[in-house]
A and B are shown apart, each in its own frame.
Chain A
């Protein structure tokens, strides 16, 4: 699955909001241009109703829907579908540069767990990533829901899953100097909210993970627990605070960062398929 890094560069270094999507009914790849036109008309109609993002200046929303053949895990996965919304101001028609305002990507990276159990007319693209204003997300989402009878849900990431992510990503081999591994905890039951940020030198984190992981390429819950317990014990030794009693809300590594509200940043092209595979798995378990 050698994905061309140029084609996936748009995924990197952006904050993506994650959703799980149930299978799309009667979605036909040959009709992508039609869908773009229909979605564009829908958005224009929504704006007429006064649900517009911008009021005043007449702005055209241009919709493009494309298929990304390489962005998939195996042959059994559906190729990713990218929806792009651009703003074209009618005022300056000579300067025809469209400003990209919103991106939405449907994808499936090794999503066999879902696709193998689904009847013929359905297309499985369980992971939906959006970048841009929430108002556009809601319009695009409504149109897809009406047209393909699917259901979108924000993908929340539990502290348990976040600890898997930080253990996996901290252990990734990186050629360049990496940024620190950071864990952010939120302390409950206080009158004023308190956040604790715990930053670890990436080499130390990788060294720790290497001593914990027994089989390369395989990760068990026990290994993740040991890794996290070491980090908690170290912190407790210095600050007398039990981080294990706080809520892990965000993890950050040079590979990717993830927040419990379902917001991720993908930072490293080499590990992109791995991260998308993990996110696809989370999306599928939220659907089932």
Chain B
């Protein structure tokens, strides 16, 4: 399900299936996309931040079109204890690899992989800093 911002319209709440993973997409060429994501984060229930949220930064292949500092996005990821993935959608190989990664994360978040839960993402994030 794709949405341009949160909150999702309440009229369809009863038809909506359970949400297992939220991927916030930030286009590095658009400051507006970062602001939009920051505003939408306020509408996400705290329980999602236990491994069911991730940030996907797109357009990183074009270094000269950067409108956002990557530092700012990494800080956002740290603040919300959620992983930040970088990708370039214009390159097919990276696009496919990123899709596979997200799918894998979704399988874990939906509980389809025995022995691994969404909480594993949180502990993985902590170890890279310390």
Q: Is the CB of A159 within 8 A of B32?
A: no
User: How far apart sit A245 and B30, CA to CA, in the bound complex (Å)?
Assistant: 5
CB contacts under 8 Å to A, within B54-78, are 63-69, 71-72
Q: Which residue of A lies closest to B71 (CB)?
A: A221
Q: Is the CB of B68 within 8 A of A242?
A: no
Q: Closest approach, in angstroms, between the C-beta of B117 and any C-beta of chain A?
A: 37
Residues of A within 8 A of B30 (CB): 244-246
Q: Is the CB of B32 within 8 A of A247?
A: no
Is the CB of B31 closer than 8 A to any CB of chain A?
yes
Q: Closest approach, in angstroms, between the C-beta of B70 and any C-beta of chain A?
A: 10
Summarize B's interface: helix, strand, loop or mixed: helix
- Known: A160-B68, A160-B69, A221-B69. Contact between A245 and B63, CB under 8 A? no
- Known: A244-B30, A245-B30. Contact between A159 and B66, CB under 8 A? yes
Q: Is the CB of A245 within 8 A of B64?
A: no
User: How far apart sit A281 and B16, CA to CA, in the bound complex (Å)?
Assistant: 51
Residues of B within 8 A of A157 (CB): 64
Q: Is the CB of B64 within 8 A of A247?
A: no
Q: Which residue of B lies closest to A242 (CB)?
A: B32
Q: Is the CB of B32 within 8 A of A160?
A: no
Q: Which residue of B lies closest to A228 (CB)?
A: B31
- Known: A159-B29, A160-B69, A221-B69. Contact between A244 and B64, CB under 8 A? no
Is the CB of A248 closer than 8 A to any CB of chain B?
yes
Interface residues on A, range: 10 to 19
User: How far apart sit A232 and B67, CA to CA, in the bound complex (Å)?
Assistant: 13
Q: Closest approach, in angstroms, between the C-beta of A167 and any C-beta of chain B?
A: 14
Q: Is the CB of B31 within 8 A of A244?
A: yes
Is the CB of A86 closer than 8 A to any CB of chain B?
no
Q: Is the CB of A244 within 8 A of B65?
A: no
Q: Is the CB of B69 within 8 A of A247?
A: no
CB contacts under 8 Å to B, within A187-229, are 188, 221, 228
Q: Is the CB of A245 within 8 A of B69?
A: no
User: How far apart sit A260 and B35, CA to CA, in the bound complex (Å)?
Assistant: 23
Q: Is the CB of B32 within 8 A of A156?
A: no
Q: Closest approach, in angstroms, between the C-beta of B32 and any C-beta of chain A?
A: 4
Is the CB of A158 closer than 8 A to any CB of chain B?
yes
Q: Closest approach, in angstroms, between the C-beta of B96 and any C-beta of chain A?
A: 23
Q: Is the CB of A247 within 8 A of B29?
A: yes
- Known: A244-B35, A245-B33. Contact between A260 and B64, CB under 8 A? yes
Q: Which residue of A lies closest to B68 (CB)?
A: A160
Q: Is the CB of B31 within 8 A of A247?
A: no
User: How far apart sit A246 and B32, CA to CA, in the bound complex (Å)?
Assistant: 8
Q: Closest approach, in angstroms, between the C-beta of A217 and any C-beta of chain B?
A: 22
Residues of B within 8 A of A163 (CB): 67
Which of B35, B67, B71 interacts with A159 by CB under 8 Å? B67
Which of B35, B64, B71 interacts with A158 by CB under 8 Å? B64
Q: Is the CB of B29 within 8 A of A156?
A: no
Q: Closest approach, in angstroms, between the C-beta of A227 and any C-beta of chain B?
A: 12
A interface list, Cβ under 8 A from B: 156-160, 163, 188, 221, 228, 232, 242, 244-248, 260
Beyond A232-B31, A244-B32, A245-B33, 9 additional contacts (C-beta under 8 Å) are A158-B63, A158-B66, A158-B67, A160-B68, A188-B29, A221-B72, A244-B31, A244-B35, A246-B30
